[in-house]
Chain A
């Protein structure tokens, strides 16, 4: 489907939301990606990717409760929807399928 095509960065963000499930919000995702991939990420890029994912229905969001650490500002917590999870699995399957199709000699 055309609408559900996931870009590379979107896929990374979606995976990060899945990793941090239950506590996935903008800053946490930035940290997660920076740690996992060891590269610096812009907050804007992350938020933009999150809102695109939400438009596609791959993640859902709700405002979290008050917290003390952010000067009392609330977080928007993201979670992967069932559709999002299926999309991730599909991608993984596709990758695996392609890995399996590689003839062994080529890798050696």
Chain B
């Protein structure tokens, strides 16, 4: 007879294993007895009752184990202990790994800061999803300067537009004066970072105010100033309600301070120390005769326009509506209106030179990629060194497996070792970052800190990334080690050569490919930069000092004072030559214009654009620019008013574009630009702008300008000579700040971005090659250590030192050679693409590639030979006796 099986099952479910046997025995015995005593039914019933009575806590209690049973924490502690021991045992490799990883991580974090910063620019506006900038697209380029009427017409016509803000950057720049009260003296500064803005500025964009009213800019003659500017003019007194006077191209205007805003954050493209209310220009008094700036006009393009679109409107549909409307209004105008989301504004490529601090999307991503590659190189070092060293750990793994470690436990062990190393490196990297942050900020010209990373989920991303790296770098080693069969390992039957040779070599190939590609890129960049800086510009820029013209005091005596100023400059002994112009090389032209043609134009000729430069008759002489045909304009021509001018000079490019056969043929010809202008001279092509831009066709209008005065000085005692000029300037133009710059410095600033990227690439390639060499050094040490005996035998048999060094180095040169073959074409292609951005570019010469390859081989050889020569010089008696 069998007892009820459900009850037995219940017993086994709850009873501790060590009691189950006796209890089941007792139950069974009683059951059998009771069948005879009370019958089967009752016996079964008693059986169930007994089982239930056994399910009491005191009997369910698990047995106490006599020995302590290790839990996962204890094992982790053991892993950590072993990890520290093996780190300490292999000091060289641990050092190589941590230093390499720390460098890689520091680079990665610093560059991640940069990338995060660039991506955060202009991202803080509350209205961001609905903010758009209006652009004009003329099929060749897009530009943000619009006629101010566009926004007003748009808002009347299209319901989607909730509000707009127009910002006229720069045209407001001039001299701002505060005529202090009481003891405070008058304060006057030239402001070069100002704008006129609509009253909606502070409601459209999220720039917090420190004081005053958000809507104050809606009134004419109100100015909002930054905290910095407030401090500059008013010190500690409250600026609201104070009066400032602005002298600029619109004449002398009085403003009241209506708001003080916190300085715009560094991750914003908006730069302004002062915002004057645009409504000031709405009245004829404010315009002061400058009718081109009328706020309702649709002709003159000078203002940036931002739109706040109602939520959930389709901006592309709005763009189409805009264009349809424009076509009805001006059918002959082929330019298109484009709406650009403000969130794409900073990193968009089309306008890369519009704002002074514009980022470049491609460059940002390229940099992020390079940082990642450097980090990967460091991780590869870990994989390489730990697989090479895996043999040393084989015995340990064998013993662990014999004692009962499962694969899971071994994997946990080796991953925790890799995590430990990654964590040590991370803390080292954090130290490095705190040291390197300042220099890095100088290099990038940004105010960066790790705070940028803490915004949003970027930090989580980095931690996840680190863990992934740990898995990646430790995973392979863990896999290799768990594969060892304990019997073979403990017998010593495992091969001494080590496993994963192909893997190690391919990782070295990768590391060196990246390093070589970076070296080639650096070389090409350096060459291009040198090319641009040493190219003959067809003018002489050294020792040229430029004075900015006065803005204050343009009254009836201004013309005579200016003349007298020029007269006295020409009499200074230190001045070799001087001229006045409306634009100087290194700056943009005065303006560009189309509609300039020969008397009998071809169709399409009036669409071609020409750059226009106002300059006097001394311009060519002062800058050392040559005439190729005809003659210079006369002094008398330069003094004529703008609309009485009849003679101009043009450059060779303009000769070509106008369609004249040769420069000499162009002289004496007339061109049409509203009226007829006679070409008196042809100027040799010179690089008015950097070599990134092609030389444009230029038309030189003879004008004595007050905008820039260029002075060529003799070299000795420069400060004294500048002081002399300042004295003259202050004598003739009192109340104006004396501002000057050197042309060559300003000209070279055009290459600042390229120099910056060249520096970053130099550092990146140095880092990459350094970390890769660290790994190579570690590998070489392992290999020579393992081959000590072999070398000893070879030496005993008569091998020379040289042959042994060759033998040992050969293995390491092969991957480097393969890396050169892989990296060169990739780098060549990439740099060829990069060079397309330059109008005047070098051809990549083969020797740059050759040099990079040779350098890589040389560095690798030097790294390896340190170990191989030591091994080769070792006394064979010693090496054979070892072990």
Contact = CB atoms under 8 A, between A and B. Distances in A.
Contact of B59 (A25, A51, A71): A51
Contacts of B33: 27, 31
Contacts of A71: 25, 28
A44 to B, nearest CB: 3
A44 B56 CA distance: 8
A71 B3 CA distance: 12
Contacts of A27: 25-27, 29-30, 33
B353 interface: no
Contacts of B50: 42-44
Interface residues of A, number: 21
10 contacts: A27-B27, A43-B30, A43-B54, A44-B52, A44-B53, A47-B26, A48-B56, A48-B59, A69-B29, A74-B25
Contacts of B56: 44, 48
Contacts of A47: 23, 26, 54, 59
A51 B63 CA distance: 12
Contacts of B55: 44
Given A48-B58, A75-B25, 13 more contacts: A25-B26, A26-B22, A27-B33, A43-B30, A43-B50, A44-B54, A44-B55, A44-B59, A45-B53, A47-B23, A47-B54, A70-B25, A73-B25
B49 interface: yes
Nearest to B21: A73
A51 B430 CA distance: 60
Interface in B31-63: 32-33, 49-50, 52-56, 58-59
A70 B23 contact: no
Contacts of B29: 27, 69-70
B639 interface: no
B19 to A, nearest CB: 8
Given A42-B49, A42-B50, A74-B21, A26 B58 contact: no
Nearest to B52: A44
A42 B53 contact: yes
B542 interface: no
B259 to A, nearest CB: 84
A26 B26 contact: yes
Interface string A2-39: 00000000000000000000000111001100000000
A17 B23 CA distance: 17
A43 B25 contact: no
Contacts of A76: 22
Given A43-B53, A43-B54, A25 B27 contact: no
Nearest to A64: B22
B24 interface: yes
Query: Nearest 4 CB-CB pairs, A to B?
Result: A44-B53, A73-B25, A26-B26, A42-B53
Given A31-B33, A73-B22, A76-B22, A43 B27 contact: yes
Interface string B701-714: 00000000000000
A63 interface: yes
Interface string A49-75: 001100000000001000001110111
B28 A70 contact: yes
Given A25-B22, A31-B33, A73 B28 contact: yes
B58 A52 contact: yes
B693 to A, nearest CB: 96
A89 B518 CA distance: 96
A64 B351 CA distance: 94
Given A48-B59, A52-B58, A43 B26 contact: yes
Contacts of B25: 26-27, 70-71, 73-75
Contact of A75 (B22, B52, B59): B22
A43 B25 CA distance: 12
A30 B30 contact: yes
B630 to A, nearest CB: 121
Nearest to B54: A44
A81 B50 CA distance: 27
Nearest to B49: A42
A45 B53 CA distance: 7
Nearest to A43: B50
B53 to A, nearest CB: 3
A76 B25 CA distance: 9
Contact of B24 (A25, A30, A69, A73): A73
A25 B21 CA distance: 13
Nearest to A48: B58
A103 B181 CA distance: 122
Interface-central residue, A42, A45, A75, by most chain B CB under 10 Å: A42
Nearest to B22: A76
Contacts of A63: 22
A44 B59 CA distance: 8
A21 B53 CA distance: 25
B93 to A, nearest CB: 55
A75 to B, nearest CB: 6
Contacts of A42: 49-50, 53
B732 to A, nearest CB: 112
Contacts of B49: 42
Interface string A71-102: 10111100000000000000000000000000
Interface in B571-618: none
Contacts of B58: 48, 51-52
Nearest to B33: A31
Contacts of B32: 69
Interface in B225-239: none
A26 B29 CA distance: 10
Contacts of A73: 21-22, 24-25, 28
Contacts of B30: 27, 30-31, 43
B27 to A, nearest CB: 6
A48 B28 CA distance: 18
Contacts of B23: 26, 43, 47
- B23, B26, B30, B55: most-surrounded residue (chain A CB, <10 A): B26
A73 B59 CA distance: 19
Most buried by A among B25, B27, B49, B56: B25
A34 to B, nearest CB: 10
A104 B282 CA distance: 130
A51 B23 CA distance: 13
Contacts of A30: 26, 30
Nearest to A69: B29
